[in-house]
Amino acid sequence: MLTNLFRVAGFDSTSASATWCLYALARDQRTQSKLREELLAFGREPTEKDFASMAAFPYFDAVIKETLRVYPVTDAERVALQDDVVPLKFPITKPDGSKITELHIRKGDSMVIPFICSNRLNAVWGDGDTFRPERWLGDKSLPPKDQMTQGWSNLVTFSEGPRLCIGVRLALLELKIILYTLIRNYTFALPHDNFEVDGYFFASLIPVVKGQEEKGGYMPLKVAHYEG
């Protein structure tokens, strides 16, 4: 049981995050080249400490954070143990113009907390759906801290509070090693111009190619050796 928890929690989520990062970079060749330039400029084999501090890799750090913001690969599910009222920071406007300002939860209700919605909320991020690593490269381009969550990097990707992912450090280290190795050695491009992918939540955020839904989760990308 514990092995399964670690396999699903630790393996699928990290590989799915790496996959979404490669997709984002395949869509954005300028960001991919800029990232490769920074990684190739590093003059030695990086250590675990280099990846923990990321001082030598500011753009890489921004790409990782932006990937985990735009593509949080899990959500959270909870069952209410008692009746409660949850106030909404950003009220929801109904079609008739009236506002929902709080949610009334009853004991036993099941809830899905969609992290992807918090991480992309336009009311907070302005252009929440846009993959733009530059937003992490200067304090002024991020939303005010009190509008963000209290999780890792003020995102809710690894949850927050006492049930925050216990594998967060390992996940980040794995992601950095995988992406560092791949981006230095290979280039990634979309298979064709009209290529579009949707994310479906099935244990983790699975990529499904539009028009090829019957194939299930996969991410076909054009991969070539980087020749320098």
CA separation for the pair 11, 114 (Å, rounded): 20
In the complex, what is the shortest distance from the CB of residue 19 to ligand HEM, in angstroms, rounded to a whole number? 11
In the complex, what is the shortest distance from the CB of residue 185 to ligand HEM, in angstroms, rounded to a whole number? 22
Q: Does 114 bind ligand HEM (CB under 6 A)?
A: no
In the complex, what is the shortest distance from the CB of residue 175 to ligand HEM, in angstroms, rounded to a whole number? 6
List C-alpha distances in Å: 158 to 28, 51, 58, 152, 216: 25, 18, 21, 7, 25
CA separation for the pair 122, 106 (Å, rounded): 29
From the list 79-87, 88-96, 138-146, 165-173, the region that binds ligand HEM by CB under 6 A is 165-173
Query: Could you count the other beta carbons within 10 Å of the beta carbon of residue 161?
Result: 9
36 exposed, middle or buried (CB, 10 Å; 0-12, 13-18, 19+)? buried
From the list 94-102, 128-136, 156-164, 179-187, the region that binds ligand HEM by CB under 6 A is 156-164
Q: Does 8 bind ligand HEM (CB under 6 A)?
A: no
**Residue carrying structure tokens 């390992």:** 170
Which of 1, 3, 4, 5 lies at the binding interface for ligand HEM (CB under 6 A)? 5
Q: Does 210 bind ligand HEM (CB under 6 A)?
A: no
Q: Does 7 bind ligand HEM (CB under 6 A)?
A: no
Q: Does 31 bind ligand HEM (CB under 6 A)?
A: no
CA separation for the pair 208, 56 (Å, rounded): 35
Q: Does 155 bind ligand HEM (CB under 6 A)?
A: no
Q: Which of 55, 60, 68 is nearest to 35 (CA)?
A: 60
Q: What amino acid is encoded at 110 in this protein?
A: S
In the complex, what is the shortest distance from the CB of residue 157 to ligand HEM, in angstroms, rounded to a whole number? 5
Query: Per-residue contact track with ligand HEM, 61 to 80, x per CB under 6 A?
Result: ------------xx-x----
From the list 84-92, 103-111, 158-166, 183-191, the region that binds ligand HEM by CB under 6 A is 158-166
Which of 35, 39, 165, 221 lies at the binding interface for ligand HEM (CB under 6 A)? 165
Q: Which long-range contacts (CB under 8 A, 24 or more apart) does 167-172 make?
A: 167/6, 167/9, 167/10, 169/52, 170/10, 171/10, 171/13, 171/14, 171/17, 172/51, 172/64
Residue 104 vs 163, nearer CB to ligand HEM: 163
Angle, CA of 10, 12 and 15, to the nearest 5°: 100
Tell me which H or E stretch contains 161. Answer: none
Residues that bind ligand HEM (CB under 6 A): 5-6, 9-10, 13-14, 17, 73-74, 76, 157-159, 163, 165-167, 170-171
Which residues are known binding-site members for heme? 165
